[in-house]
Amino acid sequence: MNRAGAVPGAAGVEAGPGERRGALQLARVWPAVAFGIAGLVLWELVVVLGRVPAFLLPPPSAIAAQIGAQAPVIVSTAAVTGGNAAAGLVAGFVLGVALALLAARSRLVQELATPVVLAASAVPIVALAPVFTTMFGSTTEVARRLVVTVVVIVPVFVSTMRGLRQVQPVHAELMTALAATPWQHARFVRLPGAVPYIMTGLRLAAPAAVIAAVVAEYFGGLQNGLGSRISSAAANTAYARAWAFVAAAIAVGLLFHLAGLLAERLVTRGRS
């Protein structure tokens, strides 16, 4: 709920700092933008003047031309890969939080689940993807979404567990004094207290979900995503095209990162 209603004039006061923060962010962002542009120019110059062969490194201008030429394909393949990443992210998030809640509730579940999840964190995607593709067939997205799910569960589970353990002693005493049931303790104190940790887990998992979705496509299956296009373009020595799809994969990853960051900010605002 907003504080503006309670503190008269607060909304008027907040407009000022808001504007200043916008200017401040611009001031903070421009060196990075300038650095990126300078890097691209340098890259172009090195490739053109140094006569670097295209299979080694295509110039940014060629990649940009490919992005333009392939725009409709890039958008549709990015949507497929992004969709797989999103589906796996949601599934992994729900499973990770649910598993952590169960583990926090029961010692048995904790002792069973923790090593399994930690083992899952050690499984390389490159090992999992071909196995899942064979298991679930190469005409569905299930295998790819499962790979993403496995990758996402780990950070979400670990950070949720950490959050659920962060109960302040005074809150625990209060719930005891109020004769709250274990379920009420979870609902009123543990879970809301863990929310910032859960959101941090989601933020960390979001870009990893995109990486997993792209890599999972390298191991066969439908040829409708960014990963498939990158590997087929590279196999056909169309290096500039491959790089165009790589750029799209980076953009999707950044988009997920920003979405995760935004979700975290929105959910935890107003907390001290």
Partner 1 sequence: MSSAVSLSGVDKRFGDVHALDGIDLEVGAGEFVSLIGPSGCGKSTLLRIVADLEQPTAGAVLVGGKSPQQARLDQDYGIAFQQAGLLEWRTVVENVELPLHVHRVAKAERRARAAELLALVGLDEFAGARPSALSGGMQQRVAIARALAPSPRLLLMDEPFGALDEMTRERMQAELLRIAEETSAAVLFVTHSIPEAVVLSNRVVVMSPRPGRITEIVDGCRPGAAVVSDLVPEDVEDVRESGSFFAAITAVREALRKGHE
Q: Which two tokens stand for residue 8?
A: 């008269």
Q: Among residues 139 and 181, whose Cβ is nearest to partner 1? A: 181
Query: Which part of the chain contacts partner 1 (CB under 8 A), choosing from 5-13, 19-27, 121-129, 254-262?
Result: 5-13
Rounded CA gap, 29 and 245, in Å?
25
Q: Which residues 179-218 are close enough to bind partner 1 by CB under 8 A? A: 179-180, 184, 188-189, 192-193, 195
Other CB atoms within 10 Å distance of the CB of residue 223:
14
- Considering beta carbons, is residue 1 or 122 the nearer one to partner 1? 1
Question: Does residue 3 belong to the site contacting partner 1 (CB under 8 A)?
Answer: yes
Q: What is the dihedral of CA 128, 129, 130, 132, to 10 degrees?
A: 80
Identity of the residue, 197 or 243, whose beta carbon is nearer to partner 1 in the bound complex: 197
Please name the residue ranges forming H helices in the chain. 10-49, 60-69, 71-105, 107-122, 125-136, 142-164, 169-177, 182-185, 191-216, 226-235, 239-268
Binding to partner 1, residues 253-272 (CB under 8 A): 270-272
- Binders in 158-177 for partner 1, by CB under 8 A: 168, 170-171, 173-177
Task: Please report, as ranges, the residues that interact with partner 1 according to CB under 8 A.
Answer: 1-3, 5-7, 168, 170-171, 173-180, 184, 188-189, 192-193, 195, 270-272
